[in-house]
Amino acid sequence: MSSCCLKGFKWQQDAKPQGSETTVNGQSCYVTGANPDVAIVVVHDLYGWTFGNTRLLADYYAAEVGATVYVPDFYGGEVLSAAIVNNPAEWGKLDLPNFMQRNSKVVRAPEIASFARNLRAQHRRVGAIGFCWGGWAVFQLGARTTDGSAPLADCISAAHPTFLEKTEISNVGVPVQILAPEKDPQFTPELKAYALAEIPTLGVPFDYQYFPGLEHGFAVRGNQQDEAEKKGLERAMRAAVGHFKEWLVAV
């Protein structure tokens, strides 16, 4: 994992998340919105479930899609120090290799799947969106099953996914959206090319949104003072809402 996963800006210092913290499926969780039929789970990035930008995005999805939106803690209660994360000069103090080992796919995939199953029992339709670290997870939630049962999510969106593998791309079985910046050492040109070639052969609706000039992390940590990044993150927000409206609400 590179420094791009740490770089970012906190949005609107005076903006306050509108949801509440509770416990869902045994996990701490931010919940916003109140639609018993439609749910969206947000799989957070390295900044974790308490990051204000992620919660503001959840509020936006809840209001614009008309959904109950969940932002669970998938780091087992561990939150990286904001003081260190927001200061590049301090990044050397972060023990990212051990942090990522504690939060590897092998460790976290089962609880992410369990959380989605819990939502399946409560809501008619379930969508998932993942940012950076969360990108691989939503592809797993949207994967075809071997027993013919429905995938854990009805549609997925991934913004600048990290740790995504070709097999996860090939296994997707639901409508999928990718929000892809031009400059991304995680979702590489090779992976972009593979997704663009492979997904159209899978028989699922595919929305590929390309953001020229933008970098990894823009959709959740973009600089609102930079006009290009601001327009990009706003476009990404609208695109995700449109995707969820199409495949969660209009069906």
Q: Hey, what amino acid is at 215?
A: E
Q: Say which residues have a Cβ less than 8 Å from residue 165's Cβ, sequence separation at least 6.
A: 136
**Per-residue pLDDT reduced to its tens digit, 62-79:** 999 999 999 999 999 998
Residue/partner pairs of 230-238 with CB below 8 Å, 24 or more apart:
232/181, 235/209, 235/211, 236/159, 236/179, 236/209, 236/211, 237/57, 237/60
- What predicted TM-score, i.e. pTM, was given to this entire model? 0.93
Q: Are 126 and 41 in contact (CB under 8 A)?
A: yes
Cβ partners under 8 Å of residue 78, min gap 6:
48, 99, 102, 103
At residue 117, what are phi and psi to the nearest 5 degrees?
-60, -40
pLDDT in tens, 158-179: 999 999 999 999 999 999 999 9
* Dist. CA 19–CA 208, nearest whole Å: 30
- If you compute the radius of gyration of the chain from its CA atoms, what whole number of angstroms results? 17
Q: For 182-235, write each residue's pLDDT tens digit.
A: 999 999 999 999 999 999 999 999 999 999 999 999 999 888 889 999 999 999
